[in-house]
Amino acid sequence: MSLCDVGVIGLAVMGENLAKNFVSNHFKVAVYNRTGEVTRKLMKASPELAGKLVACFDLAELVGNLKTPRKIIIMVKAGLAVDKVIEGLLPYLSKEDIIIDGGNSYYRDTSQRFKALLLQSIHYVGMGVSGGEKGALQGPSLMPGGSEKIVMQILPMLQKVAAKKPVPCVYYMGGEGAGHFVKMVHNGIEYAEMQIIAEVYDIFRKIYSYDNEKIASIFQDFQTSDLNSYLLGITTDILKRKDDLTGLYLVDLIKDQAQGKGTGKWTIMESLEYGTPVPSIYGAFSARTISAERLLREQIYAIHGKKILKKIPSENLLDIVKDAMRAAKILSYAQGLNLIAEASRVNEWKTNLVDVVSSWRDGCIIRCFMLEPMISALAQNSNLLLTREFAGTLNEAMTPLKQILFLGLESGVATPAMSGACWYFEYFSAINLPTNLIQAQRDYFGAHTYSRTDRDGVFHTIWE
């Protein structure tokens, strides 16, 4: 029997669908799951894959079924589970074998594993995978990082299974943990995008009393503009969906308690570490955190009651909302891309932002129309705020964004992600910030010194 081209460890929905994707692209795949019953269930449900999927029931069997140098993709929960799999594999691996971690691992863990395995001549690739279960099956966005030589070695295989628009959405992200860092920030941008859409939905339903069908129709119209995105598209579907049990709109029956898997929190932590602010992402993360406190929110609502709602005239509303969403979206991407650029600089990853955005064009959750002009803009300047393509758009869209923020403030509808986008732009586009006063305060109570505008040097004043 011929040996397999690639192995997949972890057969939850992402691992199973990725294995099937490889098979559909003419690869022979060895599969293993810690719980053997999961493997048996997959094989029983997929008789058409017999001979193309090879079921293995221990790691030694999986390794023994692979061509050398072996290529093994791990699709398990981030953290200890990844370390356990690696520990189990090592006794059976040979020099130059390649382990590809396709889960949402923390990039610092990935960097440590990369270095530790390299000492044993085993190659480790941290690869972000985006697109959900459907993307894993039909073609995800892939973000591999590690040794450039090794990523180039496996790139033809990855290109076969990646999304295509029209070229494969998989590019080398940079050294060591770069692949998982890029995926982490991708998820942070995803947080912001989802929150921006949710904030507009909240304004429409609370201030203007629009029903789900009307909001869905508006978003469907937005899809014909440069706001077109996967997330806006699925929002239209969600708003129209009726519940099979009650006949009511399903979204109205879902508790307003949003969850997350940790990548949003990691993005914020790393933004602080690298001194690169991501206020839209922080606003989105904070909104989810507060949403979990349902009981506390009910208690506060009982004390403070309903708010007085004010409106923008309806005839101008949709154009203003579109411009506001456009500005908030561009600024959310700018925040994430600047964080990636700074981490790449500090860690010497040599991450190419054009390649990052190119890998997101299809297959991933944040794919959208604006990525194409971003590619050309980033080829000229790594900061979207300094690019010709987006400077004019932002200048035109900031006033509508502020109108929506004022509307929310006056009406008691919170807009944390859009507010974060606005102050990010205002601070970066300001020549005279009030932080001169803050530095004076620091010098007053802590002798932290300051620099002057009129002469070189470091100064301290005895203020009292």
pLDDT, tens digit, 9 for 90 and up, residues 426-446 = 999 998 889 999 999 999 999
pLDDT, tens digit, 9 for 90 and up, residues 326-355 = 999 999 999 999 999 999 999 999 999 999
Question: End of a domain among 172, 196, 230?
Answer: 172
Find the helix or strand (DSSP H, E) in which 356 lies: helix 353-359
- Bond preceding residue 47 cis, omega within 30 of 0: no
CA pair distance 201, 72, nearest whole angstrom: 43
Q: Are residues 79 and 221 in the same domain?
A: no
Residue 345 lies in a domain: yes
Q: Are residues 210 and 124 in the same domain?
A: no
Catalytic one among 183, 265, 322, 329?
183
CA pair distance 323, 104, nearest whole angstrom: 33
Q: Rounded to the nearest 10 degrees, how much is the dihedral formed by the CA atoms of 34, 17, 250, 240? A: 170
- Residue 50 pLDDT class (50, 70, 90 cuts): confident
Q: Are residues 142 and 291 in the same domain?
A: no
CATH of the domain at 437: 1.20.5.320
Q: Are residues 126 and 199 in the same domain?
A: no
Q: Are residues 165 and 228 in the same domain?
A: no
Residue 178 lies in a domain: no
Q: Are residues 300 and 374 in the same domain?
A: yes
Residue 194 has pLDDT above 90, yes or no: yes
- Residue 308 pLDDT class (50, 70, 90 cuts): low
pLDDT, tens digit, 9 for 90 and up, residues 213-227 = 999 999 999 999 999
- Which pLDDT value is given to residue 304? 83
User: Structural domain tally of the chain?
Assistant: 3
- Residue 307 pLDDT class (50, 70, 90 cuts): low
Question: End of a domain among 172, 194, 220?
Answer: 172
Instruction: Give Cα separations from 366 to 197, 232, 301 (angstroms).
Output: 13, 10, 34
CA pair distance 314, 12, nearest whole angstrom: 47
Q: Are residues 246 and 275 in the same domain?
A: yes
CATH of the domain at 88: 3.40.50.720
Q: Residue 368, class by beta-carbon neighbours within 10 Å (0-12 exposed, 13-18 middle, 19+ buried)?
A: buried
Residue 398 lies in a domain: yes
Residue 161 lies in a domain: yes
CA pair distance 370, 331, nearest whole angstrom: 12
- Which pLDDT value is given to residue 1? 67
- Which pLDDT value is given to residue 306? 66
- Would residue 190 show up in a list of annotated catalytic residues for this protein? yes
The amino acid sitting at 277 is P
Q: Are residues 379 and 436 in the same domain?
A: no
Helix axes 178-206, 279-291, angle to 10 degrees: 60
Residue 1 lies in a domain: no
Phi, psi of 162, deg, nearest 5: -75, 160
Residue 262 has pLDDT above 90, yes or no: no
Reduced to 3 states, what is the DSSP secondary structure of residue 31? strand
- Residue 7 · residue 73 · CB < 8 Å: yes
- Which pLDDT value is given to residue 313? 79
Question: End of a domain among 143, 172, 201?
Answer: 172
- Would residue 183 show up in a list of annotated catalytic residues for this protein? yes
Q: Which residue has the tokens 């904070």?
A: 286
Q: Are residues 264 and 201 in the same domain?
A: yes
Residue 179 lies in a domain: no
Q: Are residues 52 and 156 in the same domain?
A: yes
- Which pLDDT value is given to residue 314? 76
Global confidence as pTM: 0.94
- Residue 103 · residue 184 · CB < 8 Å: no
Find the helix or strand (DSSP H, E) in which 242 lies: none
Domain extent for 444: 432-463
Q: Are residues 125 and 231 in the same domain?
A: no
Q: Are residues 46 and 107 in the same domain?
A: yes
Catalytic one among 16, 176, 190, 270?
190
Alpha helices in 46-177 (DSSP H): 59-64, 80-89, 107-118, 132-138, 148-161
pLDDT, tens digit, 9 for 90 and up, residues 118-135 = 999 999 999 999 999 999
Pairing of strands 53-56, 29-32: parallel
